Structure 1
């Protein structure tokens, strides 16, 4: 299997944004968490994404987070900054700010709520790509945005030299394989249950939420596959499935469950911002049980 190049690394974590107990940005905590993730097996980080609570952080906080994490992990670790909004002009502003703050790439989600037609989706991404020198990772997550990036649209967008990657949460394996066959786009699994399946058909890696707590286990899945031990890779994917289910398939967003588990482990996270609500004690206890099954001494 020939894998696509991995322009932003292979094992990326969709990092939470740590807050202080009062709800303000915890830059020291963010730096410590980022360093831990890199030491634990992540070779790239996604900041200010969905898991990073981008809808409730200010533009200034987004810039400060990028700068703090860049200082903590150095220049060798790719940082992809979430810049997507429902407004093309605002998205361009965030892209330019992320570039100035030290990001290596921009994660651009399909404009949400207004449900643009495919021609408008394509025009949006092209305007953002033309606005700065940052390479783009398109974020296809129709369950949140209400609008798909159609495979035909993705194939056309791939012709732009700065549109180089996709974070995929489309749940459309046929469409993904069509785009992989016809473009050089680097696909990243955005759903943790798809880490191995997408990698097996030629994806570049993953952007993982559960990597906030088990970075080594996530990296191990891809490493086993690269080593030719597909049985081991399947075993490792199966081992993390109970944690994926608890963190990503419950009624709670991954941000809530990731922060609950990080807090329980004494790691930087802090509260979530409203409208999200903190996980209750029962949920946190269940998360800990599943975590300990994977990392008994962690």
Structure 2
């Protein structure tokens, strides 16, 4: 697959996992949120990723979430299941369960904590891609895992028929260009501030935490660029900067900030699971103020 025909769509949301007030999985809320996200512009949903609090959900909860969201969205959006763990065997088990539950693809993060060298990392990804029949999206987020998927490793892995793309949270734009130049991997921005920049050099789109709250706005950035309105795309991307910064770079995890905003908007979210803690009142108020400024601002002229 190339960026022209991305394997999972262009506008993907790294969806939060809604919980009830008591902390149990809220499948009804997940269905309602998924339906809203797809209706407002997401053509793919990533379940049980970082924003989905995957380290704190059970294997059964992960499978149940896929089934429930598939029932809600049908074939209107692709579903990519986060299955990566620090254990290759467990990751294979989750990959097979995700396939059985109705996922369209797998998001596989580098094994964390053990920090395997590149040859072991490559073998890990190959074993998972060999085990399941679904396309694989590599997840490069060394700030969380402690292990980088080096560009040369990605280039070798691109030869595997089921390894089709990358969710890039490396903050290494040069490396992204290198891999894009050498392979046909679909590169998805995993950091919202890079959505347009990566798309402009041939990226496939984004996997966005911020899309939980402004799915239509972020989709409009890509739509404007595709329509040839590069100035309009840049204006829309810049307009979201304050909210992106507060949600992703103000010291709180994206799951915390997204749930704070969704709760404030009366949308399914619920609490985060420990060890995460909810956003404080000041943080929640600042998030809501930034959201309101973005969503109520009058449209700027096309030439702005």
Instruction: Report the alpha carbon displacement of residue 173 of structure 1 after superposing the two structures with TM.
Output: 1.0
Question: TM-score, normalized by length of structure 1?
Answer: 0.98
Give the Cα separation in 1 of the matches to 2:126 and 2:236.
38
Instruction: Verify the 8 A CA contact 2:167 2:188 in the aligned structure 1.
Output: yes
What residue number does 2:180 align with? 180
Matched, 1:241 2:227: no
Give the Cα separation in 2 of the matches to 1:175 and 1:264.
38
What residue number does 1:93 align with? 93
- Structure 2, unmatched stretches of 5+, are 298-304
Matched, 1:205 2:205: yes
Matched, 1:16 2:16: yes
Instruction: Verify the 8 A CA contact 2:180 2:202 in the aligned structure 1.
Output: yes
Instruction: Report the alpha carbon displacement of residue 24 of structure 1 after superposing the two structures with TM.
Output: 0.2
SS in 2 for 1:295: helix
SS in 2 for 1:207: strand
Instruction: Verify the 8 A CA contact 2:3 2:187 in the aligned structure 1.
Output: no
SS in 2 for 1:222: helix
Give the Cα separation in 2 of the matches to 1:202 and 1:60.
37
SS in 2 for 1:31: helix
Matched, 1:268 2:268: yes
Give the Cα separation in 2 of the matches to 1:175 and 1:283.
34
Structure 1 stretches of 4+ with a deviation exceeding 6 A read none
Instruction: Report the alpha carbon displacement of residue 140 of structure 1 after superposing the two structures with TM.
Output: 0.3
What residue number does 1:68 align with? 68
Give the Cα separation in 2 of the matches to 1:120 and 1:157.
12
Instruction: Report the alpha carbon displacement of residue 58 of structure 1 after superposing the two structures with TM.
Output: 0.2
Distance 1:4 1:119, change over 3 A: farther
What residue number does 2:302 align with? none
Give the Cα separation in 1 of the matches to 2:241 and 2:50.
21
What residue number does 1:196 align with? 196
Instruction: Report the alpha carbon displacement of residue 295 of structure 1 after superposing the two structures with TM.
Output: 1.3
What residue number does 2:216 align with? 216
Give the Cα separation in 2 of the matches to 1:28 and 1:175.
41
SS in 2 for 1:161: coil
CA RMSD of aligned residues (A): 1.0
Instruction: Verify the 8 A CA contact 1:4 1:186 in the aligned structure 2.
Output: no
Number of residues of Structure 1 aligned to a counterpart in Structure 2: 296
Give the Cα separation in 2 of the matches to 1:35 and 1:219.
16
SS in 2 for 1:85: coil
Instruction: Verify the 8 A CA contact 1:168 1:187 in the aligned structure 2.
Output: yes
What residue number does 1:104 align with? 104
Instruction: Verify the 8 A CA contact 2:38 2:76 in the aligned structure 1.
Output: no
What residue number does 2:50 align with? 50
What residue number does 1:151 align with? 151
Instruction: Verify the 8 A CA contact 1:140 1:167 in the aligned structure 2.
Output: yes
**Cα distance per residue 1:95-117 (max 9 Å; x no partner):** 00000000000000001100100
- Structure 1, unmatched stretches of 5+, are none
Give the Cα separation in 1 of the matches to 2:270 and 2:220.
28
Give the Cα separation in 2 of the matches to 1:151 and 1:5.
22
Question: TM-score, normalized by length of structure 2?
Answer: 0.96
Matched, 1:124 2:121: no
Distance 1:4 1:179, change over 3 A: farther
SS in 2 for 1:107: strand
